[in-house]
Amino acid sequence: MLKRIFLLLLVSASTIFSQPAESLNSSEIKLALKRLNTLGTVLYVAAHPDDENTAFLTYFNYAEHLRTGYFAFTRGDGGQNLIGEEQGDLLGVIRTQELLQARNIDGAEQFFSRAVDFGYSKTPEETLEKWGKEEMLSDIVWVIRKFRPDIIVTRFPTNGLGTHGHHTASAILAVEAFNLASDSNAFPEQLKYVQPWHPKRIFWNAWTPALTSMGINSDTLIKINLGEYNNLLGRSYTEISAESRTMHKSQGFGASGRRENLFNYFLQLEGESASSDLFEGIDLSWNRVKGSGKVSKLLMQAEAEFDFENPVKVLPLLIEAYAELQKLEDKYWVEIKSAELIKVIKSCAGIWAEAVTEENLLSPRSESKVKLGFVTRSDVPLILKTIHIDYQQKDSTLNSKLIKGEMISVERKIFIPQDANYSQPYWLEEGNHKDIYLVKDQNLISQPKTDYPLYATFTTELFGTEIDFRIPVFFRENDPVEGELYKRVEIVPEAVINFDKDLYLLKNGETKEITVFVKSIKENLDGKLRLLLEDGWNISPSFYDFSFSEKGQEQEFKFKINSTNSNVSANLKAQLDIGGKKLSKSLVTINYPHIQPQTVLPEASAKILKLDLQKKTVKKIAYIMGSGDKIPDLLKDLGLSVDVFTKEPLTTELLQNYDVVIAGIRAYNTNQRLSTDQKNILKYVENGGTLIIQYNTSGDLLADPSPYKLIISRDRVTEEDSPVSIINPGHPVLNYPYKITLKDFDGWIQERGLYFPNEWDANFVPLLEMNDSGETPKTGSLLVTKYGKGNFIYTGLSFFRQLPAGVEGAYKLFINLLSAGINE
């Protein structure tokens, strides 16, 4: 896989871990020069990471040389993670980085709204109610005013053919925002920072079957061949876009390149009508910018005279263009084109600039060393005048004349002040969000990531013009296998606290031991560690003293907790007191080879759930793992004995040792063992065992899970608070050891369940009924039957989400399912 990753380098000029300085090769410089002479912007709008048409983005960036953006309403935090354990907010952090790596390859920019991906939504109405329509309109209007697209393109139509409620909502919002962005009465609070903007037109990037179902002939629409080949890159746009799409690894979206034509169709939704070209009638030249005649002339000349073997020859033209550009009034284009120009100048001059620290985690009130280096690998006459780093006491004046190939190296100390902001993902800073992230600073909204906390600026003089090269400060290390690696420098608290678990399960009357890890980020720290819990819970000891002499040390502390009150759940928090300063953050790092390593600082907390387990229940459980869930560990925490099976043969003799056999989520779709061993499992049930099967999809079943007719459908209930009816209240499974009542369906998260069967044999007894608003009742969420002497249970209820979240009612119901064979 690494080989593949480094290949990308050639195309995108950016490593998999962002490097402090990017250099373009001659082909890329040529493309950048064409782009400098093109002034136009296009914005693509959809709902999730992976919705974007990466071929479209690649084409408009590399073929049309336009400023190209992708606005995703969500960060994809409600999906499933195919590469690791992270869920929810942390999965959103991974998906955000995957999108940024995808954009590194296709060259587009990335934007997000504040919307949380709350899971599958059937209607745009539900989506907009949860997100807040005004907030979402504000976010997309904000991006339109900031990014100023000439053209907007939606991935989905507004008529619901995009199926997912988030999809349809993304198109509805884009069309409304298209009209609102130019209205100064809409979101006037934004006008402190941006001007109203009216895009020329908005299109839907239509797919043919949808057009056919709408009775539209695609030949009547504007079409573009996104599969064209680019000689400068040696690849077609669809080959590049496949690499981009492959970055969505947490969704398993590896894609192969296409080498033939790929026509896409565009149906106009609003705006001035166009017949043959999305950008019809839009001047994409420097004519758009008042007084830019001289800049335009210089840049056209640079493009025409560019020599692939000697890029430095056009530097005087580029430097003059840069100086002229600074005189223009149009701030939008001056900022964009200045940044593009600096990158080209740096590459033509063979400049390398670096600023690296010796550690990647820095904390307030601490001092750190930064090594700075600057070199030019060309004969260009260059003077390095000053170097400035954030948090450096004063600038360094150097006024050094550079000699080709000789690095100027200096080392400077910085001091991170007491009030420096932590540098975690900004949208997670406020914690407790529901369906929309809490972001106070308008200027952060739409940004894909938190900016680097430290920058270094190298001020130079080139042909009489002063030019700043500003780069982020990185931590750099050499890995014996991977070679040179860069990590973001982060500012984090002086010390961090992590619990050994997110959820502690207590049996009534039990005393539980809890382990807390404290890690120092700064040296010489003394203080106290306390756990915080509401009244009625006892913690022993009440605190620990800790003392760290060095940074990076970790100590382990054990507390005992129990309760005398009747509350079943509690939130456990931890706090450090260091000379009166209270710290309460934990530190989570996310490392995957395809994204930049991430640091997240959630509040140190864990949930406690107390369960009454006096009555007799099962002891030994066999868990047949499917696509992966955390239920086995949670059952072990309850004191049950659980053996997990992934590949081992499941013989009837083996299974006879267990009271219950559970199939994990999607086991009948993913665990090859089941294609041969299902007969043994049914034999085990016949002999008196209890089998619980969680949800599977019907498309790719390796074996029929059920001894009787059972048809799995796509029925799901996505409203986690949808009303539930108990249709068979007397059934033993709803009565032992717990009497299940409607209260047990309170506090569920994300959804009730999915892929419920919708047809079944008369032997099955349905126990529950539920449905999303406006739909017919679904009775297939929990089906039980006797089979031989045993019990067969099929359930699409999403226990795999509810149990890790500590939902009490879900535990009770699950323990009842486990106990199906006991009271008989």
Piece in contact with Zn ion (CB under 5 A), picked from 50-58, 71-79, 542-550, 703-711: 50-58
**All residues at 6 or more sequence positions from 67 whose CB lies less than 8 Å from its CB, including other chains:** 40, 41, 42, 109, 147, 336
77 belongs to the binding site for Zn ion (CB under 5 A): no
Question: Which stretch in 48-56, 191-199, 412-420, 450-458 sits in contact with Zn ion by CB under 5 A?
Answer: 48-56
CB of 251 to Zn ion, least distance (A): 10
Task: Kindly state the smallest distance separating residue 51's Cβ from Zn ion, in Å.
Answer: 4
CB of 241 to Zn ion, least distance (A): 17
Cα–Cα distance measured from residue 403 to residue 329, given in angstroms and rounded to the nearest whole number: 36
Helix (H) or strand (E) holding 145: helix 133-147
Nearer to Zn ion, 47 or 521 (CB): 47
Angle at 147 between CA 142 and CA 150, to 5 degrees: 110
Q: How far is the CB of 49 from Zn ion (least distance, A)?
A: 8
Smallest gap from residue 74 Cβ to Zn ion (A):
8
Closer residue to Zn ion (CB): 158 or 368: 158
The two tokens of residue 500 are 């050994």
Cβ-based nearer residue to Zn ion, 121 or 366 = 121
Which residue stretch of 49-57, 124-132, 296-304, 488-496 sits at the interface with Zn ion (rule: CB under 5 A)? 49-57
Nearer residue to Zn ion within complex by CB, 92 or 804? 92
C-beta of 249 vs 385, nearer to Zn ion:
249
DSSP label of 603: B
> Would you say 200 and 179 are in contact if contact means Cβ atoms under 8 Å apart?
no
Of the pair 165, 806, the CB lying nearest Zn ion is at 165
Beta bridge partners of 608: 504, 570
- Give the number of residues in contact with Zn ion, rule: CB under 5 A: 3
Residue 163 or 397 with smaller CB distance to Zn ion: 163
We find the least distance from the C-beta atom of residue 48 to Zn ion, in angstroms, to be 4
Residue closer to Zn ion by CB (options 48, 248) is 48
Which is nearer to Zn ion, 167 or 487 (by Cβ)?
A: 167
Torsion (CA) 429, 434, 435, 437 in degrees, nearest 10: -10
Question: Which range touches Zn ion (CB under 5 A), out of 51-59, 507-515, 535-543, 652-660?
Answer: 51-59
Mark 28-47 with x for binding to Zn ion (rule: CB under 5 A) and - for no binding. Answer: -------------------x
- Beta bridge mates, 526: 547
In contact, 646 and 625? CB cutoff 8 Å? yes
Please report how close the Cβ of residue 164 comes to Zn ion at its closest, in angstroms: 6
SS (HEC) of 285-332? CHHHCCCCHHHHHHHHHHHHHCCCCCHHHHHHHHHHHHHHHCCCCCHH
Residue that the structure tokens 């034509």 belong to: 261
User: Shortest gap between Cβ of 113 and Zn ion (angstroms)?
Assistant: 14
**Least separation, in Å, of the C-beta of 77 and Zn ion?**
13
Nearer to Zn ion, 47 or 380 (CB): 47
Least distance to Zn ion from the beta carbon of 155, Å?
8
User: How far apart (Å, rounded) are the C-alpha atoms in residues 353 and 211?
Assistant: 52
- Give CA angle at 21 (482, 23), nearest 5°: 95
Give 255 or 282: the residue with its C-beta nearer to Zn ion.
Answer: 255
- From residue 537, give the alpha-carbon distance in Å to each of 509, 510, 558, 611, 612: 11, 12, 16, 15, 16
Q: φ and ψ at 128, to 5 degrees?
A: -70, -30
> Taking a C-beta distance cutoff of 8 angstroms, is the pair 349, 322 a contact?
no
Chain positions 696 to 755 lying near Zn ion, rule: CB under 5 A, are none
For residue 93, the minimal CB distance to Zn ion (Å) is: 18
Can you tell me whether residue 106 is helix, strand or coil? helix
The residue (of 115 and 295) whose beta carbon lies closer to Zn ion is: 115
The 10 Å Cβ neighbour count of residue 823 is 11
Q: Rounded to whole angstroms, what are the CA distances from 584 to 518, 528, 532, 817?
A: 11, 12, 11, 39
CB of 45 to Zn ion, least distance (A): 12
> Per CB under 5 A, does 52 bind Zn ion?
no
Contact (CB, 8 A) for 515 and 509: no
Check residue 51 for interaction with Zn ion (CB under 5 A). yes
Cα–Cα distances in angstroms (integers) from residue 704 to residues 39, 236, 622, 707, in the given order: 59, 44, 19, 8
Residues 159-218 that bind Zn ion (CB under 5 A): none
CB-closest chain residue to Zn ion? 48
Is 140 or 601 the residue whose CB approaches Zn ion more closely?
140
Q: What's the min distance (Å) between Cβ of 561 and Zn ion?
A: 42
Following DSSP, what letter does each residue of 504-555 receive, concatenated? EEEETT--EEEEEEEEESSSSEEEEEEEE--TTEEEESS-EEEEESSTT-EE
Contacting Zn ion (CB under 5 A), which of 31, 32, 48, 660? 48
Can you give the binding site for Zn ion, defined by CB under 5 A?
Answer: 47-48, 51
